[in-house]
Amino acid sequence: MKKLLFILSALLPALAFAQAPTSNFTINGKVGKVGSPAWAYLFYQVGANKVVDSALVTNGNFVINGFYPTPHTPCWL
């Protein structure tokens, strides 16, 4: 009985990976003195599609919000 309870509790975190088929991300950044207007760019790939996100740098700060359709698979799986 204790072994069964231990096994079930050990597998419980794996269920958390199956809950969200999508992932949102936020990148907060700060750069030094830049002239206006300035932009920050993020390039990444989703499957065969290449995505470019950008944000306006205001007072040296920028925020890029994005959406990635599948969560990363942990390295131990």
The string of pLDDT tens digits covering residues 11-57 is 767 666 555 556 788 889 888 888 778 899 999 887 788 888 889 99
pTM above 0.85, yes or no: no
- The pLDDT score that the predictor gives to residue 44 is 84
Q: How much is the mean pLDDT over the chain?
A: 76
Instruction: Answer yes or no: are the C-beta atoms of 22 and 44 closer than 8 Å.
Output: no
Q: Is the pLDDT of residue 77 over 60?
A: no
Instruction: Answer yes or no: are the C-beta atoms of 46 and 69 closer than 8 Å.
Output: yes
- The pLDDT score that the predictor gives to residue 67 is 78
Q: Is the pLDDT of residue 70 over 70?
A: no
- The pLDDT score that the predictor gives to residue 18 is 56
Q: In the chain, where does DSSP find H-type helix?
A: 2-17
Q: Is the pLDDT of residue 61 over 80?
A: yes
